[in-house]
Amino acid sequence: MDQDLRHLIKEFLTIYQTLDINGDPAARGHILDVQNKMSTILNNDPPLQQKTPEQKPVCKHLNPAIDKGKEGPFAGLCNAVEKTSRKFRWEFGYSSMPGHLYESYAYTEVLGPDGNVYSDELILGFVLLAPQCYYPDHNHPGIEESYIGLSGECIQNNDEFVKPGGFLYNYPGKMHNLKVPAGKPCLLAYAWNAEPEVLRTYSMNFSG
Ligand SMILES: [Fe+2]
């Protein structure tokens, strides 16, 4: 595996190893599962996939978001993003989506069936949202999702804040939306955990 991408996955693993979650057993189970899968993946040294790098309009916020994130609790992962981002293919994922998202949203899959590094056990990637972006209701049937706050902040479902250093767990099928306040872009890392068949065949859709 490419050394920079390997380092990036290691930084992901370090974060999941140090997350301090009280309470929710489902979130704790998710974290353990993600840790175990990342360790196995790093040991197995999976193949790189050829991906043509691609930018989206929101990428103009990437470097400012990284710079802010390097001052925060997950500076290690932000540094790794800075080193590898030229290899990222930023995508929309949806066949149709609200017009404003074309300017204010994109994600990139680093590890996964479509990742820079192949896996059908786990997906790791990043979501970049512009200031004041509203990412509408959607869910992921059969997929557990967690978000890690790297830079800026956002609010899920009007009451769950993700700030730098923050963690949010979404059980499979949970409906969620994200809002970014004015002022700063928001960079999130995410992990999707599901059965290989689900990860390989999943397609993204907005509800309604
Ligand atoms: Fe989501």
3-201: CATH topology is: Jelly Rolls (2.60.120)
Residues ≥6 apart with Cβ < 8 Å to 157: 175, 176, 177
State the Cα–Cα distance between residues 104 and 90, nearest whole angstrom. 12
Residue 200 Cα to ligand 1 midpoint, Å, equals 17
Whether residue 8 contacts residue 89, with contact meaning beta carbons closer than 8 Å, is answered with: no
Residue 107 Cα to ligand 1 midpoint, Å, equals 11
Residue 176 Cα to ligand 1 midpoint, Å, equals 7
Give the global pTM: 0.96
Residue 140 Cα to ligand 1 midpoint, Å, equals 7
- Residues 31-40 have pLDDT tens digits of 999 999 999 9
Extents of the domains making up the chain: 3-201
- Residues 81-125 have pLDDT tens digits of 999 999 999 999 988 899 999 999 999 999 999 999 999 999 999
User: What's the pLDDT score for residue 105?
Assistant: 97
- Residues 112-168 have pLDDT tens digits of 999 999 999 999 999 999 999 999 999 999 999 999 999 999 999 999 999 999 999
Q: If you count them, how many residues does the chain have?
A: 208
